[in-house]
Amino acid sequence: MTAGQALAGVGLSIAILVSGCSPGNAPAPAPLPTANDSVTVHRIDYTTRGLGDPAQNWGDFYLPAGPQAVDSIPLVVLIHGGSWKSRLGATTMSPYARDLAAKGMAVYNIEYRRVGSGGGWPTTFEDVADALDYVVELKRQFPQITTNDELVVGHSAGGQLAAWVGTRNRLNPNEVGSRPLFQPTRIIALAGPLDMVYAADHGDRHVVAVLGGTPQEVPERYQSVDPIQNIDPAIPILAVHGDADRTVPVVLSQRYIDEVVRQRGIGEIVIAAGENHVSIVDPKSPMYARILDTITDVSIKTIAEIAVDFRTGG
């Protein structure tokens, strides 16, 4: 079965399964079902490199209804935003997770420690790297998913984190998040602060808080995780940004995509008229359905097809 076929004819009901897949007692793979009657959701406790926090080091893993043949279901990873602060969590991306699963995709919606709940530098970035590396274990437990050509989607601070995880393979060995076990091949950043130095220099205190200083005080941290300083021209990235966003100005996506294009990379920006920072991920927004379709489209197309689409505005 092709990925495109796996995206058709799935049910909308959801069965919730809480399965503690923790590092110490990771279960053996269950017998592979021939089909799921409904979307299933598994609570995953991912491994951390140091002392973790079970209340925050987890992800919700969604499997669609329908056939479950080996290597037949494309995976998308979701990273929520919230200014890297603890007031918002992974549930903000749950509508996308449910709706993408209903479209036939496997979805891994991750939680991580943030500023105010044990996160900040470097813990937030280590957690996100560890959550992504756990995809290798997800593949062992759920062989029906594909993990060799996958998409990561992030909103707000999660957009920065999504862009960063896409280039972890280019980090030096001593940098946070280096030597990834799982490497995505395409990225979508929704209202992401993709130029962190510019943001910090123009008053974004949240960037300064998560990195523990200004670009002048901790330049090496910005160099390591700032998306605009870590572009991989081979990885397609789509930036979607509302022109009414006053939390993360659209100029941060514009500057980033301009630099991707300057480096002859594969990038495109979609500016959503009238959308603000929150409405862009609101299921009631007209943009929501368009973003769902875009995620599906970017997930199943080849890199060459995406490059053509970006170049022609397709």
pLDDT digit string, tens, across residues 93-129 = 999 999 999 999 999 999 999 999 999 999 999 999 9
Whole-angstrom distance between the N-terminal and C-terminal Cα of the chain? 26
**SS3 of residue 220 by DSSP:** helix
Total number of domains constituting the chain:
1
| Beta pairing, strands 66-67 & 75-79 | unpaired
Q: What is the mean pLDDT of the chain?
A: 91
pLDDT digit string, tens, across residues 21-50 = 444 455 566 667 778 899 999 999 999 988
**Over residues 242-269, mean pLDDT:** 97
pLDDT digit string, tens, across residues 48-85 = 988 999 999 999 999 999 999 999 999 999 999 999 99
Q: Please tell me the pTM assigned to this model.
A: 0.90
For the chain, percent of residues with pLDDT exceeding 90: 86
Tell me how far apart the alpha carbons of residues 257 and 236 are, in angstroms, rounded to a whole number.
11
Contact predicate 267/236, CB 8 Å: yes
pLDDT digit string, tens, across residues 124-157 = 999 999 999 999 999 999 999 999 999 999 999 9
Q: Residue 169 maps to which CATH number?
A: 3.40.50.1820
| Nearest Cα to Cα of residue 58 among 1, 137, 117, 111 | 111
Tell me how far apart the alpha carbons of residues 95 and 312 are, in angstroms, rounded to a whole number.
30
In which domain, by residue range, is 257 found? 3-312
Confidence (pLDDT) at 16: 44
Q: For residue 71, with 0-12 CB atoms within 10 Å meaning exposed, 13-18 middle and 19 or more buried, which class applies?
A: middle
Backbone angles phi, psi at 270, to 5 degrees: -115, 120
Confidence (pLDDT) at 27: 57
Tell me how far apart the alpha carbons of residues 80 and 95 are, in angstroms, rounded to a whole number.
12
Q: C-alpha angle 222/224/227, rounded to 5°?
A: 75
